[in-house]
Amino acid sequence: MSSLVKLEEAVGINFQNKDLLKQALTHRSYLNEHPEFKFGQNERLEFLGDAVLEIIVTEYLFVNFPNTPEGDLTNWRASLVNAKMLYQVANNLGVENYLLLSKGEAKDKNTKARQYILANSIEAIIGAIYLDQGIETAKGFIVKNIISQLDAILKNQTYLDPKSKFQELAQEKEGITPIYKTIREEGPDHEKLFTVGLYLGEELISEGDGLSKQEAQVKAAEMGLEKKGW
């Protein structure tokens, strides 16, 4: 049994066009070393899958929580579609075993960049499912693997935005509005790693890393909450 068939079993879908699944697993770095590869990389599928994921999660929340304010629904949706959640889904499905990466990228395991690649691959797989079998099959995959995490998110209140929470508590307890400053930027443009500092006045409270400034700020806020015991 081929590895592609094993992944289809994990995903729970038998693709009519296997090439779509192969493309969903192909990182741009792989094409640098294999220019003859005919399927292309996965960024266009990722673009499509991101939109499919967003509309299906949005519709689910809108229909099933008719009395919930828009602001709460937005936070819940963000918790379901963010890179951390999609990385967990990729881990659960064992997607890393099937990624097509350059030799250099393949060696870079257990890094934030790899987590980001895996999260993006889930969006690309969703895009591939949508093209291959339509919106209802894509919805089934999303409900089973992503929306199923909603109960735990609500129970543990992990949907609360760390930045908002830190700001409210900093203003309440210390009368100061926190600010974020970029400390350094590392890596190539398409996979840059940002380190951001969280400050109360001149005091550096915590630092956070991320593949975007926003992600780094959220990590810094999470660390700040922990450090302050808030």
Annotated binding site for Mg(2+): 46, 120, 123
Of the candidates 38, 155, 145, 35, the residue with the CA atom closest to the CA atom of residue 95 = 145
For residue 202, indicate whether it is catalytic.
Answer: no
Distance CA 206, CA 200 (A): 10
Instruction: Select which of 50, 96, 132, 215 is catalytic.
Output: 50
Out of 96, 105, 123, 215, pick the active-site residue.
123
Phi (first) and psi of residue 180, to 5 degrees: -120, 135
The binding site consists of 46, 120, 123
Cα–Cα dist 166/222, whole Å: 8
User: Under DSSP, is residue 75 helix (H, G, I), strand (E, B) or coil?
Assistant: helix
Q: Which of these, 153, 128, 136, 179, lies nearest to 18 by C-alpha position?
A: 128
Query: Catalytic site residue 123?
Result: yes
Q: Is 79 within 8 Å of 158 (Cβ atoms)?
A: yes
Catalytic residues: 50, 123
